[in-house]
Amino acid sequence: RRSSDPTLAHNRLVRLPDEFGTTLLCLESLDLSHNQLDQLPVCLFSATNLRRLACTHNELIGLPESVSKCKHLQKLFLSYNLLQALPETIGECATLEKIRIDGNRVRALPASILRL
């Protein structure tokens, strides 16, 4: 992990600013685990260099379709949230090597995940 990549875990965050991703375009890794987030701002995925995103142990009810903008995303950790589905665009994350969604309410995976 680079020292310039923020760790915002264990902060009781309930919301991120709407412009959060646009201010961190060079971001490669972000840990938002163990907060109280129920959504991620769409522009978070404007950080096109993002390779690792950890959002475990939150209250996420969905993942924005804009996740597909992260062309370099390799690891996506979403365990222990309230997710019921993944966006169809998840299959456009061609470099995604690892995704963890255990402890959610996902009953079916989008067909696009087969492209990974």
Quick: pLDDT tens for 35-67. Answer: 999 999 888 888 888 999 999 999 999 999 999
- Please tell me the distance from the alpha carbon of residue 13 to that of residue 32, in angstroms, as a whole number: 9
- Letter string b/e over residues 13-25, b meaning 16 or more CB atoms within 10 A of that residue's CB: eeebeeebbeebe
Read off the pTM.
Answer: 0.89
Could you tell me if 41 and 26 are in contact, meaning their C-beta atoms sit under 8 angstroms apart?
A: no
Residues of the chain with pLDDT under 70: 1-5, 21-23
